[in-house]
Amino acid sequence: MTARTAATALLALALAACGEGPKDIQFAKYGEPYATKPDFAWVEHKYPLTPAQRAQITPKYLAGLDQEQVDQIYGRLTAGPIPDGAFDGDLFLPKGASGERRVAEIIGGLKGFVVNLKGRKVEGLGRTLWKGKVFYRDERVLRNRIEDLALLAPLVDGPLGDIPKIEVGGRDAWLLFPAKLYCGQSLLDSRRESIVIDYAFTDQIEGYREKPDFLAGRRGLKIRDEIRMVRPGFYLGRAYADRAFLLNFTLYNEEIAERDGEAFASSGASSEDCFIGTQRAVAAAQ
């Protein structure tokens, strides 16, 4: 590694740690009509993301973009390696009131569950309930970390003490809503695969509890997530309900980010478990 490359990598990592967003990421022009949305292959060819730029992307930066910009970022990413271990999570809705209404309407479609949502903002509710995901890579299974069971308690079948728990960062979290984990075609960008988190057959996974786990499954909200890697330890995700886009989320593992982040910022090299497509634009390392 040259002194210039090392300095660039360290600067990028420092900016990311401070929460600064990248200043030079470009986006293709677009308007409100769907016909004005650019093709992701063209966006990636015209405005490839360099490793240094990706090293500066933070959850805060992504949450400040409009949905088309988030989509253009996602379309320039590959899946990366299927994660393993616990990741901290955060979610953000598409900008504007429409995203909030859409999520509330879909969740409210489950009789009885809507009572627990009355008077609550969906985004705030999500952050209260959901704190991240735990990946079991070898088993190709995932479970969600829930720290506050107050809202879900009326829906839980059996004693709360029977629910398995995990400690992350000194905090306990219940493990609920299991899902299958595999590579699959993205519902947004079909040129290449994403890592899919599929709840359709959650009832076939060991440890499944009918209540509340059914909420995410095929007899509930029919949730399907997909994620792609921004940089090691940091993934951008999209959540769907019955194939309708709901919201964005991010997943972060500090240990992986610190271990592999500098090498990625300098070279852009990463392992890939999923098909990366044939139109991959290779960005020069900076």
What percent of the chain stands above pLDDT 70? 79
Angle, vertex CA 140, rays to CA 63 and CA 194, nearest 5: 40
- The residue-averaged pLDDT of 161-183 equals 91
Closest CA to 224 of 275, 273, 277, 187: 187
d(C-alpha 248, C-alpha 241), whole Å: 12
Average pLDDT over residues 70-92: 96
Tokens 């405005």 map to which residue? 47
Domain boundaries, given as residue ranges, for the chain: 79-267
**Residues 183-229: tens digit of each pLDDT:** 999 999 999 999 999 999 999 999 999 988 998 999 988 999 999 99
Is residue 7's pLDDT more than 50? no
Both structure tokens of 171: 């905090």
d(CA 91, CA 89): 7
